[in-house]
Amino acid sequence: MKQEKGFTIIELVIVMAIMVIIGGVAFTGFIPRERRELEQTAIYIATDIRHIQEMAIQTNSAHFISFFPIANTYETSIQEGHTLRVLTRRRLVNQDIALVTGVLGGVSQFKFTPRGTVTPAGRIIIQSQNYSIEMTINLGSGRVHIQDPIRRQ
């Protein structure tokens, strides 16, 4: 009996799987560093927003997150009586990323109630030289939605 030469389907599938894995690893290296850093900063801010919302629920007291674009910082605080006590103050680590509050109505502070709801709703924009990301904080639920980076013109 004559044996045919060629590859089996299993061999082809294994080779294709290896090529997909190598291609996926190589592709992540093609995303510009500037864009990756901007995305990481947005995730970092969103994590702080979620944390302050959880703290408001756990402590049964109003918590705030305030943004200061000129100083490129934001801070979290808790309401104690009629005063606010600052809990954390953060500066955006990468100097190439700017905080631009595009918050609706010009408000740069969000209040989380003891139920975890937020007022007012709004958006925060962070940008680098070539990209910008808009983060939306939904009224009521306080959920944070991070849009994909947009290339700036």
Residue matched to tokens 């989380």: 112
Rounded Cα distance between 140 and 112, Å, is 9
Q: At 47, which CATH number?
A: 3.55.40.10
Q: Does pTM top 0.75 for this prediction?
A: no
Beta bridge partners of 76: 65, 88
- Within a domain: 137: yes
Residue 121's pLDDT is what?
A: 80
Rounded Cα distance between 31 and 47, Å, is 23
Q: 52: domain range?
A: 33-151
- Within a domain: 119: yes
Rounded Cα distance between 63 and 78, Å, is 4
pLDDT tens across 20-79, in order?
988 877 766 666 888 888 899 999 999 999 999 999 999 999 999 988 888 888 899 998
- Please state the domain count of the chain: 1
